[in-house]
Amino acid sequence: MTRIAVTGAAGRMGKALIEAIDLNPSVHLTVALERPGSSLIGVDAGELAGIGSNGVKVIGDIRQALEQFDVLIDFTSPDATLANADACAFSGRKMVIGTTGFTPEQRTQLVSMADRTALCMASNFSTGVNLCFKLLDMAASVLGDEVDIEIYEAHHRHKVDAPSGTALSMGQVVASALGRDLSEVAVYGREGQTGARDRQTIGFATVRAGDIVGDHTVMFAAEGERVEITHKASSRMSFARGAVRAAGWLQKKETGLFDMQDVLGLK
């Protein structure tokens, strides 16, 4: 039985994670965290998530609970995730990281912590999205340089980073399959007289509106035909279930950096 801690317990993903843990018989929630000083400190985490009382009270300091969980699931913000990862690495706790928007320097810091504990880090924990990564690699390898590639993503109005981490991961999968450097070929939006499209580029289009959970489409457009690989999320539970599955898988690892492709055996 894997003991799980959830940080950002009062957020949209935090509540979905608490519900997903409750639905999975091989794990149980032992710690729920919110930012220090939150008015929700002391509230029952189950009541907060709308699943009924589970006896786990929200706390504001991870250092109070390092011996009470095996794996921490974190979908918060880069700064908060780095602080939590440092605490987990120091104490040998493992960590599932769904936070996006890290700078290259922050990501390097996280990777270095994998020498001391096990981390599972992914831009998206949905099983469907990770299957799409595999399909994108196949499509890019087959279609090669004969297509124009565009990536469209849409999320709710509260998402703070753009393009989404999932869209960037999709771009990286495609670029790697084609032997391109995404940092050199990515085009983030177009405006004005841009001239004819360079086939080597990979375009990104971003939408932020309403309560869209997450839509992603990668278009491979050739003369006379096009192939589109699309994933649409209608509930955060798809991400939450995947993260909980990853937590159970990660418990068996001592150290190292993994992703959802490792969890699903797609590598």
Q: Which residues are catalytic?
A: 155, 159
Residue 93 buriedness (CB in 10 A; 0-12 / 13-18 / 19+): buried
What are the phi and psi torsion angles at 24 (to 5°)? -105, 115
Q: Which two tokens stand for residue 179?
A: 């032997």
Ramachandran angles phi, psi of 180, nearest 5°: -110, 160
User: Could you give the 3-state DSSP secondary structure of residue 166?
Assistant: helix
Of 219, 160, 150, 223, the closest CA to residue 186 belongs to 150
Distances (CA, A) of 7 to 20, 59, 133, 166, 192: 14, 9, 27, 21, 43
**In this structure, what token pair is assigned to residue 213?**
């959970």
Are 149 and 174 contacting, i.e. CB atoms less than 8 angstroms apart?
A: yes
Angle (CA) 193-196-200 rounded to 5° is 125
Q: Which two tokens stand for residue 153?
A: 């993503």
Region for residue 49 given its phi and psi (left: phi exceeds 0; alpha: psi -120 to 50; beta: otherwise): alpha
